[in-house]
Amino acid sequence: MDLPRRTCAQLTFVPQHRPCLEESLGRLQEFIDQSRRLFVLTGAGISTESGIPDYRSEGVGLYATSTKRPVQFKVFMESAKARQSYWARNYVGWQRFSSVRPNSAHLALAAWEPSGGGPVHCIVTQNVDRLHHKALSTNIYELHGSAFSVVCMKCERAVTRHSFQHQLRRLNPHVHERSEELRPDGDVELSQEAVSAFRVPLCESCGGGIMKPDIVFFGDNVPRLRVEAVKRELAKCDSLLVLGSSLHVYSGYRFILKGAELGLRMCGVNIGVTRADPHLLFRVDARCGEVLPRITL
């Protein structure tokens, strides 16, 4: 497997940590060896090594380094100014966000699928960055949706984020700002002047619908049918592996509770404690990109 090298810039958003202990690696190897159908639940911590910051990591996450907070669903839907600010910042940040590449952890997971002799039955990700798809994993559930799709909140017509980017560019040829900063969902900091002049289109199909990224915003709920589909996949598995998530939010933590109810063997790889720790057989306190490539099938 051709593993990408991690640059210092890409590791900027990884919290301080110690190297993985050989004993911990051995326990994880044994866990994987004994798994026949593995349910993998990933969070932002698997993507920080690709250069995408997360919200909650100690010292380096958005909440630790900025007073900025993600837009709430209710605010986005009710405020034209909030939508203007969101899309202006996302427009400038999109080129960088959409070009981020999967790291060694994503690639290792793709190699763990049955076609490669591995136990991975499905991957359920809380991330919206499409990095598992780019790594060529197959059976993926995007719990919180995808930043790569935009949907009309009135007629439900969906378009690709790339095509919507072209539409934004046509309406805003005056916007030439660039930013080296990147936030968890791809937006950046912009001047108020750039934001106030930004034009946001309504749906081209129905002519009046609000266009929103196909993402579960804070304050919104994961669609019920999506949750039920993931629970059906979980019931087919004999083990669960959490990667790069503190499971602070219930949307992902619910599957730990369900896994415990089903009697699944469960473990995790994450820098720092997680909400799931009481339910796990063990947790490897290390960086996903350091650990997963060292597991053999």
pLDDT tens-place string over residues 93-110: 998 899 999 999 999 999
125: helix, coil or strand? strand
pLDDT for 111 equals: 97
25 shares a domain with 121 = yes
Cα dist from 227 to 124, 137, 142, whole Å: 10, 20, 10
Beta strand 239-243 pairing with 265-269: parallel
CATH at residue 136: 3.40.50.1220
Residues marked as binding? Answer: 152, 155, 203, 206
- Domain contains 92: yes
205 shares a domain with 188 = yes
Asked if the model's pLDDT at residue 128 lies above 90, the reply is yes
Is 144 one of the catalytic residues?
yes
CATH at residue 206: 3.30.1600
128 shares a domain with 18 = yes
pLDDT digits 0-9 by tens, 75-95: 999 999 999 999 999 999 998
The amino acid sitting at 258 is: K
Ramachandran sector of residue 217 (left: φ over 0; alpha: ψ -120 to 50; beta: rest): beta
147: helix, coil or strand? strand
208 shares a domain with 107 = no
Residues in CB range of 178: below 8 A, 6 or more apart: 92
Residue the block writes with tokens 């290390």: 286
Tokens at residue 214, please?
Answer: 């196909």
Among 133, 144, 162, 248, the active-site one is 144
> pTM to 2 decimals?
0.91
pLDDT for 259 equals: 98
156: helix, coil or strand? coil
170 shares a domain with 241 = no
pLDDT for 64 equals: 46
231 shares a domain with 275 = yes
189 shares a domain with 176 = yes
266: helix, coil or strand? strand
How many Å apart are CA 19 and CA 287, to the nearest integer? 8
DSSP codes joined into one string, 180-227: S---TTS-----HHHHHT------TTTSSPPEEEEE--BTS---HHHH
How many Å apart are CA 53 and CA 11, to the nearest integer? 10
Closest CA to 245 of 80, 61, 98, 71: 61
168, 201 Cβ separation under 8 angstroms: yes
162 shares a domain with 257 = no
pLDDT digits 0-9 by tens, 241-286: 999 999 999 999 999 999 999 999 999 999 999 999 999 999 999 9
162 shares a domain with 93 = yes
258 shares a domain with 151 = no
Q: Kindly report the CA angle at 108 between 246 and 37, in degrees rounded to 5?
A: 75
Q: Among 178, 193, 215, give the residue marking a domain's end.
A: 215
Structural domain boundaries, residue 22: 1-52+101-144+221-297
Residues marked as binding for Zn(2+)? Answer: 152, 155, 203, 206
Domains held by the chain: number: 2
140: helix, coil or strand? strand
Closest CA to 110 of 97, 122, 100: 122
Q: Among 176, 199, 215, give the residue marking a domain's end.
A: 215
Residues in CB range of 260: below 8 A, 6 or more apart: 266, 279
